[in-house]
Amino acid sequence: MDETTHQPQDLISRRSVMFKGAALGVGATAVGRLLVDPPDVFAKKGKTRAKGRRLTKGDAAILRFLAAAEFIEADLWQQYNELAGIQDGEVPGGSGNDAYTEAVEVLDEDMNQYIHDNTDDEVSHAAFINAYLEAHGEKKINLDQFRTLPSSQADGARKDVGRLTNLMQLSVDTSFWTRYRSSRLNPDLGDTLPQAVPTLAVGKHPAIPRDNSDLADANHLQAIANTAGFHFAFIEQGGTSLYAALAQRVTSKEVLRILLSIGGTEIMHFQTWQDKAGNAPPLTDGGLVFPDLNADGESTQTNLILPEPTSFLTRKFPAVSIIRPTETEGAAVGAATALTKNGLFIGQTPEFFAAVTKLAKAADAARPRH
């Protein structure tokens, strides 16, 4: 990560639930600017529109963090959709980029539909959670002040739109690939899994064309599309684990229902994307090498897209097919850490990191009251 991410040292020792890695950056700020006060009718009367009860402090904190995460997801997926998705009125779009779309469709001919629908899903998740918070008299999330990162300047992108996320300097952790194919290794038990694409996990790689010069070389453009394919799966496996981890900390049965229901769609997303990433053609683009994943045995075999049974809770039990990791301790900070290490926030302000840090810590502090 370059210095623009303002990485602190105090969070580096925190356990990462999604991945182990660099810490979330923190800067001094009035974090309250991230939160928008609810209408006076809720703030004054303390009533709700859903079963007449206020949320617990912990449930509200978890939902606010998830709303922020969904706005971040929606932002990155909108950028992908502008260039390689279906352009219609359902989600914010650009005008499409034919060359990039063709490179992405090497992974699957229906990628434009999948990208569009994943974008639509994340937009709906953010809007729903915010509306639910507001209906319960709670502060909702607004990240608009942090939409300051530059857009792609390639044809098809909305070039003048400020972004929350940076898709042009990514380091994609591909250990999820070997993790779900391992018969016994589980990060919840302290195991570290190898990278499926080692060179993608280091350096700074574009997942969308930065400008039209990235379109000139077909091999380079395919490397960008391959990077996107693995990034899709990286993002969605993170959501798969995050919802399962935070669900263990909620109090309300209705909030639990929300997390289980939205989390289920994250699982569907991940299953789709890891299948498509397996179609990324082997190539070398400078120092970035996409290997033949079927050349190294079951640990990277492309058609092993159903989770192999693995150790769970303790190694004394038989192996079982599960989502992993799902350890709840430090789940929100771990998620924010993983996204930061991914390079997704390169260029963001100290205020952004401070705001997300506060939201993550509040979610991790939640404890169920039953």
Mean pLDDT of the chain: 89
Instruction: Tell me which residue has tokens 């530059």.
Output: 150
pLDDT at 19: 36
Alpha helices (H) along 278-349: 331-341
Residue 320 pLDDT > 90, yes or no?
yes
Quote the tokens at residue 363.
């979610």
Residue with tokens 């799966």: 233
**Each residue of 153-194: pLDDT tens digit?**
999 999 999 999 999 999 999 999 999 999 999 999 999 999
CA-wise closest residue to 180 among 131, 233, 231? 233
Residue 254 pLDDT greater than 50, yes or no? yes
Reported confidence tier of residue 296, pLDDT bands at 50, 70, 90: confident
Whether residue 345 contacts residue 354, with contact meaning beta carbons closer than 8 Å, is answered with no
Task: Please give the model's pTM, rounded to 2 decimal places.
Answer: 0.88
Cβ count within 10 A of residue 43: 12
Between 307 and 32, the more confident residue is 307
Helix axes 218-247, 57-84, angle to 10 degrees: 160
Read off the pLDDT of residues 7-60 as tens digits, 9 standing for 90 and up: 333 333 333 334 333 333 333 333 333 444 333 222 233 333 444 478 999 999
Q: In the prediction, which pLDDT does 261 show?
A: 98
Q: What is Dmax (Cα atoms) for the chain?
A: 64
Q: How many whole angstroms separate alpha carbon 41 and alpha carbon 60?
A: 18
Do you know the residue count of the chain? 370
CA atoms of 220 and 211, how far apart (whole Å)? 13
